[in-house]
Each structure stands twice: as structure tokens, then as C-alpha cells.
Amino acid sequence: MNVDKAKKRIEKQVKKGFNGYPLISLEYFGKTAESATDVVISFTLEENAEPQKQKFVSESDAREDETIQSTLVKIIERSDAKTVAEIEGVSILEQ
């Protein structure tokens, strides 16, 4: 899947807002705010449940990595998540 198409599909889900559980959340991490080398996707089945997390690492910016973005779309689709949330920006990794 094209990286721009994948990003648009994720963005569309995020814009829907909170619609209940299951919930998928995405958070990007990097050494600087300009480049995200890691992305963590969390799946929460129900309120107060412990989230299941999976981390993807990229040599370049994970937000522009076609494989990672396509994988995130597939995870969102297969999980039947009612809500998709994305933490804004890039969280700085501890050195």
C-alpha cells in the first residue's frame, strides 16, 4: 500500500474520535522531534484492561516507512477497533 494512502486511512480513523472499545493508540518516538524512528501501537480491549503493545523500529522516519504504515493499517482493520487514537508529534526517546 502506498505510504500516503496508508497515512490517510489512519488519519481518517483518528478523526472519528472516541467511539468506545476496543481502542488502538499510536505513539511515535525519536531522538529528535523531526524524526520518528520508533512507533508503538497499543491495543486495549476494554476499559481498565492492560494494553497489549507492539513496537516497530525504522532506520529512517517511521511515519514515512511504507511497510510500517501499511502494517499499522492492517492491524487496525483486523482488530475491529472502534476507536483509533494518535499521540500528536514525536515523543523524545531517553538517551
Indicate the length of the chain as a whole number: 95
Q: Are 47 and 39 in contact (CB under 8 A)?
A: no
Predicted TM-score of the model (pTM): 0.90
What percent of the chain is predicted at pLDDT more than 70? Answer: 99
- What is the spatial distance between Cα 20 and Cα 86, in angstroms, rounded to a whole number? 15
Per DSSP, which regions of the chain are E strands? 23-30, 38-44, 52-57, 83-92
Q: Residue 82 in contact with residue 18, Cβ under 8 Å?
A: no
11-41 pLDDT tens trace: 999 999 999 999 999 999 999 999 999 999 9
Looking at the predicted structure, is the pLDDT value of residue 93 above 90? no
Amino acid at 68: I
